[in-house]
């Protein structure tokens, strides 16, 4: 067995989780900072701000499920698929979570000024979440084609 290929397979298997977690951490931090700023400026609605600030955490959840779906014996034939799916899904989840955090921060700032637009202000973050779901579903579908 080629040790480098096997190592890349293991990296791919864990990559979706690790990169999704990094994106969720950054996204939640961005949105969380906006939530804290909004709480300082307002007298109410604090729970909504905090609730919106955790939306980017789904990247790590999708990454966990992808990792468990990819979990199998790492062989020379399985490793390239594990690496490709895990790494690319992880990068997409990382990027989506960071951008979702920015969208949530903007929504929080908008809600602070006009609380009545709460639902509408979440639409951009929800659209980004939709792309994360696409990555998640397609990674699961493709994982089924990797040799066991």
Instruction: Report if residue 9 sits inside a domain.
Output: yes
Range of the domain at 91: 3-143
Instruction: Report if residue 125 sits inside a domain.
Output: yes
Q: Output the pTM of the full model.
A: 0.93
Beta carbons within 10 angstroms of residue 30's beta carbon: 22
Instruction: Report if residue 86 sits inside a domain.
Output: yes
* Total of domains in the chain: 1
Instruction: Report if residue 57 sits inside a domain.
Output: yes
Q: What is the pLDDT of residues 34-61, one digit of tens each?
A: 999 999 988 888 989 999 999 999 999 9
**Best CA proximity match to 35, nearest among 117, 120, 101, 96:** 101
Instruction: Report if residue 123 sits inside a domain.
Output: yes
What pLDDT, on a 0 to 100 scale, did the predictor assign at position 148?
A: 77
Instruction: Report if residue 148 sits inside a domain.
Output: no
CATH code of the domain covering residue 81: 1.20.120.610
Instruction: Report if residue 26 sits inside a domain.
Output: yes
Q: What is the pLDDT of residues 93-126, one digit of tens each?
A: 999 999 999 999 999 999 999 999 988 999 999 9
CA distances (Å), 36 to each of 41, 50, 130, in order? 9, 8, 26
């Amino acid at each position: 067995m080629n040790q480098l290929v096997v190592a890349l397979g293991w990296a791919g298997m864990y990559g979706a989780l690790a990169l999704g977690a990094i994106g969720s951490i950054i996204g939640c931090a961005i949105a969380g900072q906006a939530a804290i700023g909004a709480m300082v400026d307002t007298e109410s609605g604090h729970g909504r701000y905090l609730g919106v600030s955790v939306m980017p955490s789904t990247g790590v959840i999708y990454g966990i499920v992808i990792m468990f779906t990819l979990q199998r014996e790492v062989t020379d034939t399985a490793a390239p698929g594990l690496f490709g799916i895990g790494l690319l899904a992880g990068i997409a989840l990382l990027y989506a979570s960071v951008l979702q955090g920015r969208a949530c921060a903007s929504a929080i700032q908008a809600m602070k000024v006009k609380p009545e637009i709460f639902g509408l202000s979440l639409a951009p973050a929800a659209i980004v979440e939709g792309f994360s779901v696409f990555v998640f579903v397609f990674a699961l579908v493709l994982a089924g084609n990797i040799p066991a």
